[in-house]
Amino acid sequence: MTTVLSNPAITDDERRRRLYAGQVMVYSASPASLALVEHARRMIEDAFGSINPQTAQHEMPVEDFAGLLAELKPKFIHHPESKRRLQELLSEFVCDRDKTYFDVPRMRTSTANDYLSSGISYAFHAHRDTWYSAPFCQLNWWIPIYPVVPENVMAFHPRYWSNPVRNGSRRYNYYEWNKTSRQSAAEHIKTDTRDQPKPEEPIELEPQVRVVPEVGGVMLFSGNQLHSTVPNNSGRTRFSIDFRTVNVDDVVNRHEAPNVDSECTGTSLRDFLRTRDFERIAEDVALTYEGELPTQLSERYDSCTVPFDRFQ
């Protein structure tokens, strides 16, 4: 059973506990979420000029569209206002500013009708973020920038919450991925040959759950949920923001979702910034998540580069 809770009146501790148990939550748009959306819209509309961003794909050559996104998306990630808006949003959600760490917000797009389905606007196959070295206590936040419909959102595949999927995570090491694959996302306009953890058996996509939040509405779910981008048949490009959080007490105490099938190595924990002051998570905490990572890899990994294409 998958339960979707709307605007639950619960504490952050209780919210995390329920999310680790597979529940999904959706919150109405709020002043802070709308401020984040407004900031994103300004950047998008600056980039597209007089063209409507949601229908620009019907007017622009695919290479130009991909080039525009390749510039816009990292700009949004690195913009100092993006972090500040996130800080306000997490405070509004009464997340402890000293214990809650976030990974920088990404802008995601899903184009309609297979216009652009790889690289910089990757239509994501069914996956769990925990196949990609996310900690099992990672929570995902997802916010539409323009109105969305069931035909251009994302889907959860709830039967796999407790059932394993044969998958490629055993070949995935977070540090290797960062070194070799990340910079090239924008080059993969029409095909994407990067070896990402995928299901290695047929997935039963039904039953599935699609949540359709209002603009600025916030959907929250465990990074361990099997989820996918739905085939976009809406005729419009979907623009959304997502980011991830962890609570450091849960990181340390392993209060988290259950691992049913992930075998990747390395950890994305060093990407997370403390809400209060944007300090990175302590190295001694991150080190406890190294698993069976070969030592030489750990030593080669120095400072964290901010990714822009992970989980397009």
311 binds Fe ion (CB under 5 A): yes
Q: Of 129 and 271, which CB lies nearer to Fe ion in the complex structure?
A: 129
Token digits of residue 23: 């529940």
Q: Of 48 and 244, which CB lies nearer to Fe ion in the complex structure?
A: 244
In angstroms, rounded to a whole number, what is the distance separating the alpha carbons of residues 98 and 91? 11
* Closest CB 223 distance from Fe ion, rounded Å: 7
Contact 291, 175 (CB under 8 A): no
- My answer on whether omega of the bond before 135 falls inside 30° of 0, hence cis, is no
**Residue 5 DSSP SS3:** strand
Q: Of 27 and 131, which CB lies nearer to Fe ion in the complex structure?
A: 131
* Closest CB 173 distance from Fe ion, rounded Å: 18
Q: Which helix (H) or strand (E) holds 242?
A: strand 238-247
Residues 6+ apart with CB under 8 A from 187: 119
* Closest CB 52 distance from Fe ion, rounded Å: 27
Instruction: Tell me which residues in 83-142 interact with Fe ion (CB under 5 A).
Output: 129
Task: Provide the β-strand partners of residue 221.
Answer: 140
In angstroms, rounded to a whole number, what is the distance separating the alpha carbons of residues 227 and 28? 22
Q: Of 48 and 132, which CB lies nearer to Fe ion in the complex structure?
A: 132
Q: Of 93 and 132, which CB lies nearer to Fe ion in the complex structure?
A: 132
How many chain residues touch Fe ion (CB under 5 A)? 2
* Closest CB 226 distance from Fe ion, rounded Å: 9
If we measure between CA atoms, which residue out of 246, 245, 244, 241 comes closest to residue 213?
A: 241
Instruction: Tell me which residues in 258-277 interact with Fe ion (CB under 5 A).
Output: none
* Closest CB 185 distance from Fe ion, rounded Å: 15
Residue nearest to Fe ion (CB): 311
309 binds Fe ion (CB under 5 A): no
In angstroms, rounded to a whole number, what is the distance separating the alpha carbons of residues 202 and 312? 22
Binding site for Fe ion (CB under 5 A): 129, 311
